[in-house]
Amino acid sequence: MDNREAIIKTIDKIAQLSKQPGNEWLLKEFFKHYCPEETIGNTKLDEIYEYCIGKVIREQATRFYEHFPITELTSQLVDDFCRMERYRRQNNFGDFCLAVFQQIESITNWFCQRQKFIDLYKSKKNDENGFKDKDGMPYKDIHGNVIETIGQLIIQSDYQNRKSLDLNSDKVYFNERIRAVLYFVYFNEKTTKIVFEGKYGELNSLYQCRNLNHRGGGQNPYQKSITDSILPHKYNYYLKFTGLLVDYVERISQFMSKQEEKGVVSSKLPGQLYIKPENGDVFVIDSGKNMKLWYKVKSLEKGDEVIIEWDKVTKEIASIRHV
User: Average pLDDT of the chain?
Assistant: 85
Mean of the pLDDT values across residues 63-84? 94
Enumerate domains of the chain plus CATH numbers.
4-90 (no CATH), 105-256 (no CATH), 259-322 (2.40.50.140)
Q: Is the dihedral of CA 164, 166, 171, 177 positive or negative?
A: positive
Residue predicted with more confidence, 74 or 43? 74
For 3-14, the pLDDT digits (tens) are: 777 777 777 787
Which residues have CB under 8 Å from 253's CB, separation 6+?
67, 68, 69
How much is the pLDDT for 31? Answer: 62
pLDDT at 142 over 90: no
Res 153 pLDDT > 80: yes
Higher pLDDT, 135 or 156: 156
Q: Determine the pLDDT at residue 40.
A: 47
DSSP-derived letter for residue 183 is: I
Please answer whether residues 263 and 276 qualify as being in contact, where contact means their C-beta atoms are separated by less than 8 angstroms.
yes
Quick one: pLDDT at residue 121? 93
User: Which residues neighbour 138 within 8 Å (Cβ) at sequence distance 6 or greater?
Assistant: 131, 132, 146, 147, 148
Put simply, whether the predicted model's pTM sits higher than 0.75 gets the answer no
pLDDT at 237: 96
> Does the pLDDT at position 276 exceed 80?
yes
| Among candidate residues 283, 287, 304, the one with its CA nearest the CA of residue 296 | 287
pLDDT digits (tens, 9 = 90+) for 165-185: 899 999 999 999 999 999 999
Q: What is the pLDDT of residue 1?
A: 47
Residue 246 has pLDDT above 80, yes or no: yes
Confidence of residue 296 (pLDDT cuts 50, 70, 90): confident
Instruction: Give me the mean pLDDT over the 183-198 stretch.
Output: 91
Position 222 pLDDT exceeds 50: yes
E-state strands within 173-288 = 259-269, 272-277, 283-286
Which comes out higher in pLDDT, residue 249 or 314?
249
- Check pLDDT > 80 for residue 229: yes
pLDDT at res. 219: 80
What was the pLDDT predicted at 292?
85
